[in-house]
Amino acid sequence: MFDRTTKIAPSILAADFSAFGAEIEAVEAQGADWIHVDVMDGHFVPNISFGATTCAAIRPHIKTVMDVHLMIAPVDCYIDAFAEAGADILTAHVEAGPHIHRTLQAIRAAGMRPGVALNPGTPAAAVAPLLDLVDLVCVMTVNPGFGGQKFIDMTAKISQLRNMIEDRPIHIEVDGGVDSRTAPLVAAAGADVLVAGSAVFRGGSITDPAPYGENIRAIRAACI
């Protein structure tokens, strides 16, 4: 069921890479709504994280929504691998290639919910022709590639997208530098999915997961 209530999606880029399964179970038990999975190729972005094999390995540990953010180019030749890995949402960047329309159709045809992401330098208008193809628009509030970067204010772009989307069942996700200070700004502008890596995982661990819950509740409370 589609809804626009605020959802917190911890990015496992800020988790312990040697224990993704336990980290995911801990952060879900502490109130995460979705799990955000950042795939980086060292080509589209200047960093490498992990790929579809890792996604398949962590899938059984996710009870909520597996939200996979591809920071890779090209995309199309990997879509089936992420479908087999069990991604619920598969988001590709509008900047990742010349045929984003085809990419989004292929993601839907492979049985996943398509998302489209925009870098900070890309205007909202770039996704106007794509709104009937997607279930999610991801507004990057950092230049993608690394966790823990400073928030770039994209509230005007989020408001524009919120108006463009009208009553379509499309989530607006915000990714990068989201914490309890920046979350209320993007939520007020119309975002409903808040990705947060460092702001969720800071201070906690698998053996001491309570800070994950405190961090999630602090972000949520700041948006009310």
Binding site for ligand DX5 (CB under 6 A): 11, 13-14, 36, 38, 69, 142, 144-149, 175-178, 195-199
Choices 56-64, 168-176, 178-186, 210-218 (CB under 5 A): range interacting with Zn ion: 168-176
Closest CB to ligand DX5 among 11 and 30? 11
Contact string 60-99 vs Zn ion (x = CB under 5 A): ---------x------------------------------
Assess 171 for contact with Zn ion (CB under 5 A).
Answer: no
Closest CB to ligand DX5 among 111 and 203? 203
**Do residues 106 and 79 touch, judged by C-beta distance below 8 A?**
yes
Q: Which of 23, 28, 38, 192 binds Zn ion (CB under 5 A)?
A: 38
Phi then psi for residue 69, to 5 deg, are: -105, 110
Which among Zn ion, ligand DX5, none contacts residue 13 (Cβ within 5 to 8 A by kind)? ligand DX5
Q: Which residues contact 190 (CB under 8 A, 6 or more apart)?
A: 158, 159, 161, 162, 172
Closest CB to ligand DX5 among 111 and 148? 148
CA distance 57 to 174: 26
Assess 173 for contact with Zn ion (CB under 5 A).
Answer: no
By three-state DSSP, how is residue 157 classified?
Answer: helix
Which among ligand DX5, Zn ion, none contacts residue 10 (Cβ within 5 to 8 A by kind)? none
Residue 84 to residues 20, 78, 79, 96, Cα–Cα distance (Å): 19, 10, 9, 22
Q: Can 167 be counted among the known catalytic residues?
A: no
CA distance 23 to 150: 24
Which among Zn ion, ligand DX5, none contacts residue 209 (Cβ within 5 to 8 A by kind)? none
CA distance 175 to 141: 6
CA distance 51 to 145: 14
Catalytic site positions = 38, 175
